[in-house]
Chain A
Amino acid sequence: MMDTLALRVAERDLLSPTLLRLRLTSANANKLPSVTPGSHLVLDLPVKDGARRNAYSITQAGKGGTFYEIIVRHSPTSRGGSAFVHKELTVDSILNASCPSNFLALESTAKKILLIGGGVGVTPLLALARARMERGETLEFHQFCTPEEKPVFESLLAPFGQGVACVHAGRNALDFQTLFRRQPLGTYIYTCGPNAMMERVLTEATAMGWPERRIHQESFGAGGGNPFTVTLARTGGTIPVAEDQTLLDALESADVPITSLCRGGACGMCRTPVLAGTPEHRDHFLSADEKASGRWIMPCVSRAHGACLTLDL
């Protein structure tokens, strides 16, 4: 099984009413495993009604394994992990986490990277951008947010400099076609944010001749949606999935054994056969054909169209 890390909250910094930055160090003074930019960490969060395992991108890692930094968004409706992080964690709290993994690594041959973030999707992109900047490599960073949050994101992106990073209030504040058309050969796109935004990036870029392999996306497990019920065909149980809960969280809370790693629809570890019902796919792992067949679901991000889903579990 995966190695577990014991982490201590070393610093806690409220960036905005809903964005909390945590600096985590090793709880037993060990060196933390070194990470590549784009990595994330899965935290075990002992919420009241069981345990939540939430994935958070490492926005910055200290040299020599001294710390990891993450930014956690608390949505007012959430009763789950992020609420726990905001309300319960204080300096010196101890947490368990799985060793970091990376499903959004930098392309070593990229001539340039174009980063497009939405809201808290900024987090993995910050690490990628910082790595490129430190190596003196070309990047361009566009971040979308609400008008109220513009100052927060502007300060997060300030290190990259004007002309390189730009914060846009509102989704129509940037014309993707113009942006994509002026990118030099050898550019890769990294996008993280709401699904609708990432879809728009993918459709518009591919329609302009960008190969799909040049576009890397990362979704975060959250997102939520309509509540539904899963039936487990083998064991015969029924489990409700709340609107702010992922299917994976619901299965884990009910002690259904299921393997997972990225919790972001990228690694393929959680792939589960579907026997009835229609999955609403939100992952980047299944091919278009596999998605259309409706025979598989990635429970870490995907949900159900309709009220129920039957899984081969």
Chain B
Amino acid sequence: MIPSSPVKSRPVYLPFGISPNVQFSLILTDKPTLDPSCLRSETDPDTFDEVWVVHGGSTILPQQHNGLRSFRSVSQLTETLAGRLAHEQMGLRLYAAGSEDFIWKTARIAEQAGLSRDEYSLFKLGPLTRTVMCAHCHTLTRNISMTLITCDGCGATLEVRDHFSRLHGAYLGVQADAETPGILPTVEALT
């Protein structure tokens, strides 16, 4: 489902479709406006049995879905998910679409509930921004689009690496002038 990219730990996401023949399918998203163009053409959002959305206040897609549930926050959704999966049966497929830290948070809950990699799919939505974890103070800094950032926690200037932590759903950021103090690499846009 997730082929490797040149840097091993950096996930590559495929557009997803729904597995046929499943007993129950649940899609989770933290993007209230789930852009249908992200889904493979044959995927109709209405075919999910339930859609769980972290509601950001704007329109929710799909508009009229019977199994639609709104959540106030990511943590409210993930807690509900853990409780729900504890009582679910085999034949379930879980899909998570949204920001990288959100989808990997749900992946962790899925694994804890006993789902294997064949039973959940992750899809990254939205701008190419990253969440960066500071290697020094472990603070997460969100919505990063450039290769050099200032850590929200310790204020260090961090260089954003391609190394991705599935546990934290974040890329690693390390002190940018660690090799030659005072000399910073050039700032580039992340791809």
Residues of A within 8 A of B (CB): 109-111, 180-187, 206-211, 213-214
Does A180 contact B91, Cβ atoms closer than 8 Å?
yes
B179 at the A/B interface (Cβ < 8 Å)?
no
Check if B116 sits within 8 Å of A211, measured CB to CB: yes
Which residues of chain A have C-beta atoms less than 8 A from B119's C-beta?
A: 185, 211
Once the chains bind, are A185 and B115 in contact (CB under 8 Å)? Answer: yes
Name the residue on A nearest B91 (C-beta): A209
- The docked-state distance in angstroms from the alpha carbon of A109 to that of B112 is 9
Closest CB in chain B relative to A254 CB, distance in Å = 43
B90 close to A180 (CB less than 8 A): yes
Assess the A181–B114 pair: CB atoms within 8 A: no
B89 surroundings in chain A (CB, below 8 A):
181-185
Q: How far is the CA of A180 from the CA of B89 in the complex (A)?
A: 9
Contact of B90 among A109, A185, A207, A213 (CB under 8 A): A185
Contact A185 B23 (CB under 8 A): no
Q: A109-B114, A185-B114, A185-B115 are in contact. Are A208 and B88 (CB under 8 A)?
A: no
**A90 to nearest B CB, angstroms?**
47
Cβ–Cβ < 8 Å partners of A213 in chain B = 116, 118
Whose C-beta in chain B lies nearest to the C-beta of A107?
A: B116
**Residues of A contacting B12 with CB < 8 Å?**
none
Consensus secondary structure, chain B interface: loop
Q: How large is the interface on B (under 10, 10 to 19, 20 to 34, 35 or more residues)?
A: 10 to 19
A209 touches B114 (CB 8 A): no
Residues of A with C-beta under 8 A to B88: 184-185
The A contact surface, by secondary structure, is loop
What 6 A-B pairs have minimum CB-CB distances, sorted nearest first?
A: A186-B114, A209-B22, A211-B118, A209-B91, A111-B114, A185-B114
In the bound complex, what is the Cα–Cα distance between A111 and B19 (angstroms)?
Answer: 23
- Complex CA distance for A110 and B21, rounded to whole angstroms: 22
- Determine which of A109, A182, A185, A207 lies in contact with B92 in the assembled complex, contact meaning CB atoms within 8 Å: A185
Answer yes or no: B85 CB below 8 A from chain A CBs: yes
A184 to B115: give the CA distance in the assembly, Å: 10
- Which chain B residue has the least Cβ–Cβ distance from A214? B116
A187–B113 Cα distance when bound, in Å, is 11
B93 contacts chain A at the CB level, 8 A cutoff: yes
Residue of A with least CB distance to B113: A185
Q: Which residues of B contact A184 (CB under 8 A)?
A: 88-90, 114
Q: Binary interface profile of B, 123-139, with partner A (CB < 8 Å = 1, else 0)? A: 00000000000000000
Question: Are B114 and A208 neighbours in the complex by a CB distance under 8 Å?
Answer: no
15 A-B pairs whose Cβ atoms sit less than 8 Å apart in the complex: A110-B114, A180-B90, A180-B91, A181-B90, A184-B90, A185-B85, A185-B89, A185-B114, A185-B119, A207-B21, A208-B21, A209-B19, A209-B22, A209-B23, A214-B118
Closest to A210 in B: B90
**Of A111, A186, A187, most B-chain CB atoms within 10 Å:** A186
List 4 other contacts, CB 8 Å, given A181-B90, A182-B89, A210-B91: A184-B90, A185-B85, A185-B119, A208-B91
In the complex, are the beta carbons of B116 and A181 less than 8 A apart? no
Q: Mark B1-26, 1 if CB is under 8 A from A, else 0.
A: 00000000000000000010111000
Residues from 85 to 130 in B contacting A, C-beta threshold 8 Å: 85, 88-93, 113-116, 118-119
Roughly how many angstroms separate A206 CA and B90 CA in the complex, as a whole number? 11
Q: Report B-chain residues with C-beta under 8 Å of the C-beta of A207.
A: 21
Give chain B residues whose Cβ lies under 8 Å from the Cβ of A185.
85, 88-90, 92, 113-115, 119
Most-contacted residue by chain A among B21, B90, B114, B116 (CB, 10 A): B90
Docked CA distance A214–B92 (Å): 13
Tell me which residues across on chain A come within 8 A of B19, comparing CB atoms.
Answer: 209
- Greatest chain A CB density within 10 A among B19, B22, B91, B119 is at B91
* Least Cβ–Cβ distance between B186 and chain A, in angstroms: 45
- Nearest to B114 among chain A residues (CB) is A186
The chain A residue with its CB closest to the CB of B115 is: A185
Residue of A nearest to B93 (CB): A209
CA distance A111 to B85 in the complex (A): 12
A208 vs B89: C-alpha distance when bound (angstroms): 11
B90 x A187 contact (CB < 8 A): yes
| Least Cβ–Cβ distance between B86 and chain A, in angstroms | 8
CB distance from A186 to the nearest CB of B (A): 2
Asked if residues A183 and B21 are in contact (CB atoms below 8 Å), the reply is no
Kindly supply a per-residue 1/0 record for chain B positions 64-95, scoring 1 wherever the CB is within 8 Å of any chain A CB and 0 otherwise: 00000000000000000000010011111100
Alpha-carbon distance between A185 and B88 when the two chains are bound, in angstroms: 6
Tell me, rounded to whole Å, the shortest Cβ–Cβ distance linking A137 to chain B: 12
- In the bound assembly, the distance between CA atoms of A181 and B90 in angstroms comes to 7
* Chain B residues within 8 Å of A181, by CB: 23, 89-91
Distance in angstroms between the alpha carbons of A263 and B116 in the assembled complex: 29
